[in-house]
Chain A
């Protein structure tokens, strides 16, 4: 049948199972937008292409399916960049589509021409420039396959306007993608397996480092089985939260720069680290030369380029985590590690006294109270999409996730402004689930315009702003390491309640501890989107903290108030 490139485009997306796309039109995508009218796919009109990019990413992380964003050439495409880089750093399966000027104009600095494949080369898993209508279908096929297989990531397709407009006689065919140089199917050698099993059985103080790879691979059950059978405690990376049930007795909590003190201590004491789908990011390891000095390391990872990148390991099993654990589990025996678990529990007990939740009520509202209340009211079952900064770390510390893919945040790139659009994307992925966006007063203002998208789409996303009047995380570094010179971190924000109301949404302001739970409950009951502006303690810091360049157990701890010191 005769079809235009634009019609082929939408049919191919439908065949890939796309039900929603986040986008913003322009001259170079006019043919695609014209053909959208007859497509079954729901198009969400964003307010800035960065919003579209994070929505696609949030959608992908909440659902495990490929998230798709669409932008026009030139400025539309460049506005996607932050979101593409964010998706790459966090291995998020996403496809970005950009319109390009007509092929005869490429290279002539035509109106709104940008070398998008050039710009995005280092921030995509792969990218394509399509100038021929015949390439549209096979390229979309390859792009989706690449985005979701192996170590997932963003793939960009730049399609010229003339390719969108051209007509060919075309039928869909589902030939698998032909990618001779792409091998997502690595498997470890058997000899490596045997060595790993022996190492695991000989360990006295093993520790699982649970990363995002568990969620991507869908290996939650296998990891649980492994941890229980070998009585191995589990520490999470930021993106690994939810991969192992947070309330399980073997769950220790988050590791790294703002990880729990007992977790970092346990890493330093461990004699075996089992790194499951994590990449030893510098925020996790602290000073590499002092990292886990007593531990042998087994790294299970699908991306061979991660092996020995940051930390030298003793055994590397390269491949899909779920497959590898399934193959390994039958040879794993029951082991008892009571002593080791008790040792960690003692460390944990020492830290509890510094937890803001346990400190005497001084009448102030701390962010930890808000997140803790949110966790309790929502029974830990909401999808939590956090922004970046102190709010992100408090969320990670105080919201415990028992279910996979319920914690979504920009980890690798640390992109402020991710939260709100990320949450919108998550809501489209899981319309029946409760979604909470948690952002700082700085981050919300970066992508605040998407409140308007929420209003137009009529969706319900709950928004909690931890409003401290500062670019808090930067202020914290200035407090600790720059003699409290608060350079460019105090921030006067708009009245966020009015901002919500101006968009036809509901706004609530909370300034004291006793209003927190009521406000959260009111927001949940409201059928529409509610933004709660929590006026939290202005100069609170995230504790504990590993200063950059320090070993992970050299942590700055929360100072104890006089009253507590005298008591103990």
Chain B
């Protein structure tokens, strides 16, 4: 099963290395990793997706918390959340089949962002299945190159990771810590 963790970290050199080291050291496998700024200066947000069959997911939150530069970690897997991936696909496109490809793109609400005589770049956002589906229908036309950002995720509703910061004064075990 796939687990999605999000973390707020201090935006300083080397912090990503520390986070990734938690995984590397224990030979945990990262499926996808994204890092970017937040609206608050000095705070970056990391989204990490791991496969729980290959990774002792229960250990991830406590190990991440242990890092001095990590401000907050949450496992969004069991909470209602939105996740998005963005892909750009460069595809062979002749004047003959261009219209057909663009029609497909429209069905998937993807956008053409570059056109040449013999190629197109199409940008698509969505959850992973939608993108996988789109890539599958493009394949017969000949994909030249593809790039994906990896998953970013956000909890639904008004609650935010930043609001939850410092909540641990009265420490109750996080979900994964709870004993059966």
User: A interface vs B, CB < 8 Å?
Assistant: 117-118, 121-122, 125-126, 129, 146, 179-183, 185-189, 192, 303-305, 307-309, 312-314, 316, 318-319
* Residues of the A chain whose Cβ atoms lie less than 8 Å from the Cβ of B65: 183, 304-305
Judge if B142 is at the interface, Cβ distance under 8 Å: no
A contact residues around B165 at 8 Å (CB): 180
Q: Answer yes or no: B107 CB below 8 A from chain A CBs.
A: no
Instruction: Select one of A122, A126, A305 contacting B68, CB under 8 A.
Output: A126
Total cross-chain contacts (CB, 8 A): 64
Given A121-B21, A181-B10, A181-B70, A186 and B59 contact (CB-CB distance below 8 Å): no
Q: In the bound complex, what is the Cα–Cα distance between A179 and B68 (angstroms)?
A: 7
**Chain B residues engaging chain A, CB cutoff 8 angstroms:** 9-10, 14, 17-18, 21, 25, 58-59, 62-63, 65-71, 165, 168-173, 177, 179
Instruction: Tell me the bound Cα distance from A304 to B172 in angstroms.
Output: 10
Shortest Cβ distance from A181 into B: residue: B71
Q: Are A121 and B173 also in contact (CB < 8 A) when A179-B68, A181-B10 are?
A: no
A121-B14, A121-B21 given; 5 more Cβ-contact pairs under 8 Å: A129-B14, A179-B68, A185-B169, A307-B173, A318-B171
Residues of B within 8 A of A318 (CB): 171, 173
Q: Give Cα A186 to B18, complex, Å.
A: 22
User: Which chain B residues border A188 with CB–CB below 8 Å?
Assistant: 171
Report the Cα distance A139→B91, complex, angstroms.
52
Q: Give CA–CA (A319, B172) in the complex, Å.
A: 11
Contact: B179 with A314, CB < 8 Å? Answer: yes
Inter-subunit contact A304/B62 (CB<8 Å): yes
A121 touches B17 (CB 8 A): yes
A496 to B92, CA, bound (A): 79
Chain A residues near B58 (CB-CB < 8 A): 308
Complex CA gap A189/B71 in Å reads 21
Contact across chains for A307 and B62 when beta carbons are under 8 A apart: yes
- B residues in contact with A179, CB < 8 Å: 68
Sample of 15 A–B contacts (CB below 8 Å): A121-B21, A180-B71, A181-B9, A181-B69, A183-B65, A186-B168, A189-B170, A189-B172, A303-B66, A304-B62, A305-B63, A308-B58, A314-B179, A316-B177, A318-B171
| Closest Cβ neighbor of B58 among chain A residues | A308
The 7 closest A-B pairs by CB, nearest first: A305-B62, A186-B171, A181-B71, A126-B68, A189-B172, A182-B68, A304-B62
Distance A404 CA – B18 CA, assembled complex (angstroms): 35
Distance of A513 from chain B, by nearest CB (Å): 49
User: Which of these, B14, B21, B62, B68, contacts A181 with CB under 8 Å?
Assistant: B68
Chain B, Cβ-Cβ closest to A318: B171
Contact B70 A187 (CB under 8 A): no
Residues of A within 8 A of B9 (CB): 181
Partner of B169, one of A118, A187, A309: A187
- Expressed in whole angstroms, the Cα–Cα distance for A129 and B15 within the complex equals 12
CA distance A206 to B27 in the complex (A): 38
Contact A122 B21 (CB under 8 A): yes
Asked if B71 and A122 make an inter-chain contact with CB atoms under 8 angstroms apart, the answer reads no
Beta-carbon contact of B177 and A308 below 8 Å: yes
Decide if B177 touches A307 in the complex (CB within 8 Å). Answer: yes
Q: How far is the CA of A192 from the CA of B59 in the complex (A)?
A: 21
Contact A183 B69 (CB under 8 A): no
| Bound CA–CA A305/B61 (angstroms) | 8
In the bound complex, do residue B179 and residue A117 qualify as a contact, i.e. CB atoms below 8 Å apart?
A: no
A389, B43: Cα distance in complex, Å:
47
Bound complex: CA of A181 vs CA of B65, how far in Å? 8
Nearest residue, chain B, Cβ from A191: B172
Pick the contact of B177: A118, A146, A180, A304 (CB < 8 A): A304
- List of B residues within 8 angstroms of A303 by Cβ: 66
A180 touches B10 (CB 8 A): yes
Contact residue among B59, B170, B173, B179 (Cβ-Cβ distance under 8 Å from A309): B59
Residues of B within 8 A of A305 (CB): 59, 62-63, 65-66
Residue of B nearest to A188 (CB): B171
Give, as a whole number of angstroms, the nearest-CB distance from B82 to chain A: 26
CA separation between A192 and B177, bound complex, in Å?
Answer: 13
Nearest Cβ on chain A to B168's Cβ, whole angstroms = 6
B residues near A313, Cβ cutoff 8 Å: 179
Residues of B within 8 A of A118 (CB): 17
The distance from the CB of B103 to the nearest CB of chain A, in whole angstroms, is: 49
Q: A122-B25, A304-B62 are in contact. Are A187 and B71 (CB under 8 A)?
A: no
Q: What are the residues of chain B within 8 A of A307 when measuring CB–CB? A: 62, 173, 177
Partner of A146, one of B10, B68, B179: B68
Question: Which residue from A181, A308, A309, A319 sits with its C-beta under 8 Å from B67?
Answer: A181
Instruction: Point out the residues of chain B lying under 8 angstroms from A126, CB to CB.
Output: 68
- Closest-CB distance, B16 to chain A (whole angstroms): 12
Q: How far is the CA of A181 from the CA of B43 in the complex (A)?
A: 11
What is the bound-complex CA distance between A122 and B21, given in angstroms? 8
Q: Residues of B contacting A146 with CB < 8 Å?
A: 68
**Residue ID in chain A nearest B56 by CB atoms:** A309
Chain A residues with CB below 8 A from B59, complex form: 305, 309
Asked whether B170 lies within 8 Å of A316 as measured between CB atoms, the reply is no
Cα distance A318–B170 in the bound complex, in angstroms: 10
A307-B177 Cα distance, complex, nearest whole Å: 8
B residues less than 8 Å from A182 (CB atoms): 68
Q: A307-B177, A314-B179 are in contact. Are A189 and B25 (CB under 8 A)?
A: no
CB < 8 Å: which of A117, A189, A309, A316 contacts B14?
A: A117
